[in-house]
C-alpha cells in the first residue's frame, strides 16, 4: 500500500507540474500563419508580415492564382501542407467547399456581423448556403477604358452602345490600321463581352444543376458583333498579357480603347513594364449597352478572394490578414510596389477600404479625368448570372477557349469549345448540365 501511495503522489505531482508549466508555454507562443498570395498582393503581404513582427509570425509565399486547386488534394492525402490563408480566383470557394475537398472555413463568427455588413453586396460571391466562406478582395467590374488623346485626335465619340463600339472598330481598321480595341484571350472575351451580354456559360442554378448553353442568343449575338472585328484585326485573339501584344500595341502607342476590369488602369495600362501609356491620356466610361437591354451590365475579370483553411490553428489571425489587405490604408494606398507605384491596383470590395482607395485614385494625376465615377456606376451592375461552381471554370478558358480561338480565329467556335469542355467537367463532378 505504501508503494502504491508513493507512486500516486509522484504521478499527481507530475501532473500538477505539467499543468503549471503548460499555460506559461502557451502564453509565450506567438501565433504563426502561412499565407499564399500572387504577385500583385505580395507587397501588401510582406508589409503585413513586417508590421506584425513579434505579434504574429507571418510566412509569406508567392503562388500563382489557382495554385491551391492543384495542390489541395495532395495536402489532404498526406494530411499536411495546407496554408492558413490563400488569395485565389473567386471560383475557388466552391471547389474548396466540396465535401470531397473540405478546405474552406466558415467565417461568420470570426468577426462581428457589423463588419461583414460593411461589404454591402461586395461579398455576395462568398456567401453560400447562408454562410460566409471567404473574403472578397476586390470587385473587377468591367468598364470602357479609352485613350482620350487618341479618341480626340481621330474624332471619335465615346461609344455608349455596343453597335457604336463595333462601328468604331470597323472605321479604325479602315482609317487607322494597326490600332487596337483590345484582346479576347485570358478571360477578356468572357468578362468584356459574354458576361455583359448575359451569356449563360457557368450559370449554376444550385449545387447540382448548371446552365451551359453557348447557342443561347445572348452568346451568339456576341459572336456576330465580335467576329468582323477579329477578321479586320482590331480585336486581337491573344492574351492582353501576351508579350507580343504588349510590344506591338501597348508600348507602340496603338491602344485606342478596351472593355476591361477596374484594375486595368493601375495594373495594365500604366506600369512601365506593361503598356506604359503616358500620363494624361487614359479615361473611363460606363459600359456600352447591348441592343434591347435596359441595363449596361459589367462582367467581372478577376475579383479574387481570401479563403481560410479549417486546418488553420490560428483562423482569427488569418482573417485579420485578409481584412488588412481589403481595408487598411497602408496596403490600399501607401505600400510601395516594385515598379515604383504605390498602393493596391484593385477596386476594394470592403466599403471602408473602397472609400480609402477611390479617394486616392480620384485625385491621381496620371489619368486624363477622374476614373472613379464609371467604376462606381458599374460596381452596381455586375451581371449576377455567373456563380461559383465545383469545377475549374476559370482555368477552362486557357485550356479550351484560348487555343481554339488562336487556331481558328472563330469566336463562336471557341465559345462552343469552352462549353463542351466545361460541360464535361461539370458532369464529372456531379452537375446536371441544362440549356436554360
**pLDDT at residue 26 is higher than 80:** no
Residue bearing cell 488588412: 324
Q: Which CATH superfamily is domain 30-136+304-345 in?
A: Periplasmic binding protein-like II (3.40.190.10)
312 close to 31: Cβ distance less than 8 angstroms = no
**In the 8-state DSSP scheme, what is residue 205?**
S
pLDDT confidence bin for 13, thresholds 50/70/90: very low
pLDDT confidence bin for 28, thresholds 50/70/90: low
Mean pLDDT of 313-339: 97
* Averaged pLDDT score across all residues of the chain: 93
CA separation for the pair 373, 287 (Å, rounded): 12
DSSP H or E segment with residue 260: strand 257-261
* pLDDT single digits (tens) 125-159: 999 999 999 999 999 999 999 999 999 999 999 99
**pLDDT at residue 9 is higher than 80:** no
Mean pLDDT of 99-104: 93
| Distance from chain centroid for Cα 20 | 48
Closest CA to 187 of 247, 137, 140, 229: 140
Q: How many CB atoms lie within 10 A of CB 329?
A: 15
pLDDT confidence bin for 104, thresholds 50/70/90: very high
CA separation for the pair 117, 96 (Å, rounded): 24
CA separation for the pair 104, 95 (Å, rounded): 9
> Do 142-300+376-434 and 30-136+304-345 have the same topology in CATH?
yes
CA dihedral 355, 357, 358, 363 (to 10 degrees): 130
Q: Domain locations in the chain?
A: 30-136+304-345, 142-300+376-434
Q: How many CB atoms lie within 10 A of CB 161?
A: 14
Mean pLDDT of 92-118: 95
129 close to 235: Cβ distance less than 8 angstroms = no
Give the pLDDT score at 25.
44
Grid cell for residue 245: 501584344
Which H, E and C letters describe 376-429, residue by residue?
HHHHCCECCCCCCCCCCCCHHHHHHHHHHHHHHCCHHHHHHHHHHHHHHHHHHC
Sequence-ordered list of residues with C-beta below 8 angstroms from that of 76, at least 6 positions apart, any chain: 101, 102, 103
CA separation for the pair 347, 261 (Å, rounded): 9
* pLDDT single digits (tens) 34-88: 999 999 999 999 999 999 999 999 999 999 988 888 899 899 999 999 999 999 9
* pLDDT single digits (tens) 164-181: 999 999 999 999 999 999
Which of the four CATH numbers 3.40.50.300, 3.40.190.10, 3.90.850.10, 2.50.20.10 does domain 142-300+376-434 have? 3.40.190.10
Task: For residue 15, report the phi and psi dihedrals to the nearest 5 degrees.
Answer: -65, -40
pLDDT confidence bin for 339, thresholds 50/70/90: confident
pTM (global) more than 0.85? yes
CA separation for the pair 312, 83 (Å, rounded): 8
**pLDDT at residue 295 is higher than 50:** yes
pLDDT confidence bin for 91, thresholds 50/70/90: very high
Percentage, residues of the chain above pLDDT 70: 94
Residue bearing cell 451592375: 381
Sequence-ordered list of residues with C-beta below 8 angstroms from that of 335, at least 6 positions apart, any chain: 43, 44, 47, 342, 343, 344
Task: For residue 63, report the phi and psi dihedrals to the nearest 5 degrees.
Answer: -140, 145
Give the pLDDT score at 194.
98
Amino acid at each position: 500500500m505504501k508503494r502504491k501511495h508513493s507512486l500516486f503522489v509522484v504521478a499527481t505531482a507530475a501532473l500538477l507540474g505539467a499543468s503549471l508549466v503548460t499555460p506559461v508555454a502557451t502564453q509565450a507562443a506567438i501565433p504563426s500563419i502561412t499565407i499564399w498570395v500572387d504577385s500583385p498582393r505580395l507587397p501588401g503581404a510582406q508589409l503585413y508580415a513586417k508590421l506584425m513582427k513579434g505579434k504574429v509570425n507571418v510566412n509569406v509565399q508567392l503562388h500563382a492564382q489557382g495554385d491551391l486547386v492543384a495542390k489541395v488534394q495532395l495536402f489532404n492525402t498526406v494530411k499536411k501542407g495546407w496554408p492558413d490563408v490563400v488569395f485565389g480566383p473567386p471560383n475557388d470557394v466552391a471547389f474548396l467547399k466540396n465535401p470531397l475537398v473540405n478546405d474552406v472555413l466558415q467565417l461568420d463568427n470570426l468577426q462581428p456581423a457589423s463588419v461583414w455588413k460593411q461589404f454591402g453586396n461586395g461579398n455576395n460571391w462568398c456567401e453560400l448556403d447562408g454562410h460566409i466562406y471567404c473574403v472578397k478582395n476586390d470587385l473587377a467590374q468591367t468598364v470602357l477604358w479609352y485613350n482620350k488623346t487618341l479618341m480626340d485626335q481621330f474624332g471619335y465619340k465615346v461609344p455608349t452602345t455596343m453597335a457604336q463600339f463595333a462601328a468604331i472598330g470597323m472605321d479604325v481598321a479602315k482609317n487607322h490600321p494597326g490600332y487596337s480595341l483590345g484582346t479576347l484571350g485570358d478571360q477578356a472575351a468572357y468578362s468584356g463581352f459574354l458576361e455583359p451580354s448575359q451569356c449563360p456559360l457557368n450559370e449554376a442554378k444550385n449545387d447540382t444543376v448548371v446552365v451551359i448553353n453557348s447557342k443561347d442568343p445572348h452568346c451568339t449575338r456576341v459572336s456576330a458583333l465580335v467576329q468582323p472585328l477579329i477578321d479586320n484585326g482590331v480585336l486581337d485573339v491573344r492574351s492582353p498579357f501576351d508579350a507580343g501584344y504588349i510590344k506591338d500595341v501597348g508600348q507602340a502607342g496603338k491602344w485606342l480603347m478596351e472593355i476591361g476590369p477596374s484594375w486595368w488602369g493601375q495594373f495594365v495600362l500604366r506600369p512601365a513594364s506593361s503598356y506604359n501609356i503616358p500620363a494624361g491620356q487614359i479615361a473611363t466610361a460606363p459600359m456600352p449597352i447591348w441592343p434591347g437591354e435596359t441595363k449596361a451590365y459589367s462582367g467581372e475579370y478577376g475579383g479574387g478572394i481570401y479563403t481560410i483553411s479549417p486546418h488553420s490553428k490560428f483562423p482569427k489571425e488569418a482573417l485579420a490578414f485578409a481584412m488588412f489587405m481589403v481595408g487598411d490604408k497602408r496596403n490600399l494606398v501607401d505600400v510601395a510596389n516594385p515598379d515604383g507605384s504605390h498602393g493596391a491596383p484593385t477596386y476594394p470590395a470592403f466599403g471602408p477600404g473602397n472609400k480609402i482607395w477611390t479617394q486616392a485614385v480620384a485625385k491621381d494625376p496620371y489619368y486624363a479625368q477622374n476614373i472613379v465615377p464609371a467604376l462606381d456606376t458599374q460596381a452596381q451592375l455586375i451581371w449576377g448570372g455567373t456563380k461559383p461552381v465545383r469545377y475549374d471554370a476559370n482555368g477552362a478558358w486557357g485550356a479550351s477557349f484560348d487555343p481554339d480561338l488562336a487556331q481558328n480565329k472563330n469566336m463562336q467556335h471557341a465559345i462552343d469549345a469552352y462549353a463542351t469542355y466545361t460541360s464535361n467537367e461539370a458532369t464529372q463532378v456531379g452537375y446536371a448540365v441544362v440549356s436554360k
